[in-house]
Amino acid sequence: MPFEFKVLRSGSEGNATLVRSTSTAILIDCGKLVADAILDREIRLAKGDVDAIFVTHSHQDHAAARLLDVAALLNVPIFVHPTTLEDFENTVHGRTILSGLEKASSTIKVKSLGEKARVIGDLRVTPLELPHRGGGTSVCSYCCGFVVGWKKYSTPYRLGYATDLGHVPKHVFSHFAECNCIVIESNYDPNTDVKAGKGWVRTPYGHLSVVKTGKALRHIIDMKGEDSRLHHVVLAHLSETDNDPATAREAARAHMKGAAVKPRITLANQWKALSWIRVDA
């Protein structure tokens, strides 16, 4: 029975990843550009293709103003942390989501995402709180990543997902050390100049640099050594202005040199989907 994922888009214009088994599929995030692509039929997703949408946080590259239109098209519930719902009050696009919810509350189910895992069909989705706050008019008070695995926890296939975090906390390391595949951001090259108004990106509550991501990946492998099951890493959420794919790939490769296992590295793309990647390969 396959357990696989496909990064549909990743970057500051919009993020979304599909995770599926034979009988269950979830969509993690539905950022602006992705929602547009789904509603314009550029990304072909229809009713029955997905069982639930999980939202990491309130930023519009993860929760588009048209999020509810996508949920209505797919006829699925949205899982969102209650604090993220409160965060929607503070942004224009978030208020659009909330006003849509008031009108459509009878048809679109919004389910509360807490600390505990949720089981959707045969997949178990465990939320992990991440250190990420945003800046300017888009400050958010809660952000999460996920570990997606089989419903039966002892089955050893897991995908780790963390796209917005300023540093990697201990609890994320311990979860990711158990993962077969990891989608993690490699957001900016620290050798580039800090852009006006973007200082928050480089704080411990902003995003990960290519160096921090490389170090984190090495630490994740070293925690298990030869017992590490990590076989595929997707570097995601690359800044269009302060990074480039070659720099991100090279930083990850350099830090993992000589590690006990050598996971394949794939770069996520802002404008087109990656191929399906098997978690249980």
- The dihedral through the CA atoms of 188, 192, 195, 197 has a sign that is positive
Q: Output the smallest distance, CB 278 to Zn ion, in A.
A: 26
Binding of Zn ion by 29 (CB under 5 A): no
- The token pair at 186 is 């490699």
Could you give the angle at which helices 245-256 and 210-224 cross, rounded to 10 degrees? 30
The one segment of 46-54, 161-169, 241-249, 268-276 that binds Zn ion by CB under 5 A: 161-169
Out of 9, 20, 32, 59, the only residue in the binding site for Zn ion (CB under 5 A) is 59
Q: Output the smallest distance, CB 134 to Zn ion, in A.
A: 5
- In terms of CB distance, is 230 or 235 closer to Zn ion? 235
- In terms of CB distance, is 12 or 24 closer to Zn ion? 12
The one segment of 2-10, 46-54, 58-66, 110-118 that binds Zn ion by CB under 5 A: 58-66
Nearest residue (beta carbon) to Zn ion = 59
- In terms of CB distance, is 36 or 164 closer to Zn ion? 164
- In terms of CB distance, is 63 or 251 closer to Zn ion? 63
User: Is the CB of residue 4 less than 8 Å from the CB of residue 33?
Assistant: no
Q: Output the smallest distance, CB 59 to Zn ion, in A.
A: 4
Strand partners, 198: none
**Interface with Zn ion in residues 162-191 (CB under 5 A):** 164
The one segment of 52-60, 71-79, 100-108, 192-200 that binds Zn ion by CB under 5 A: 52-60
Could you give the angle at which helices 32-39 and 67-74 cross, rounded to 10 degrees? 40
- The token pair at 254 is 């350099």
Q: Output the smallest distance, CB 262 to Zn ion, in A.
A: 28
The one segment of 59-67, 77-85, 100-108, 242-250 that binds Zn ion by CB under 5 A: 59-67
- In terms of CB distance, is 82 or 156 closer to Zn ion? 82
> How far is the CA of 59 from the CAs of 64, 79, 130, 141, in angstroms?
8, 15, 14, 11
Taking residue 42's Cβ as centre, other Cβ atoms within 10 Å add up to 11
> How far is the CA of 8 from the CAs of 89, 130, 167, 183, 217, in angstroms?
27, 22, 24, 12, 22
Q: Output the smallest distance, CB 116 to Zn ion, in A.
A: 23
Q: Output the smallest distance, CB 9 to Zn ion, in A.
A: 11
Binding of Zn ion by 61 (CB under 5 A): yes
- In terms of CB distance, is 68 or 140 closer to Zn ion? 140
Which residue from 235, 142, 244 is spatially nearest to 191, judged by alpha carbons?
244
The one segment of 32-40, 60-68, 222-230, 271-279 that binds Zn ion by CB under 5 A: 60-68
- In terms of CB distance, is 142 or 157 closer to Zn ion? 142
Residue 266's contacts (CB-CB under 8 Å, 6 or more residues apart) are: 232, 233, 234, 235, 274, 277
> How far is the CA of 75 from the CAs of 6, 52, 71, 78, in angstroms?
20, 9, 6, 10
Strand partners, 184: 162, 235
- Where along the sequence are the contacts to Zn ion (CB under 5 A)? 59, 61, 164
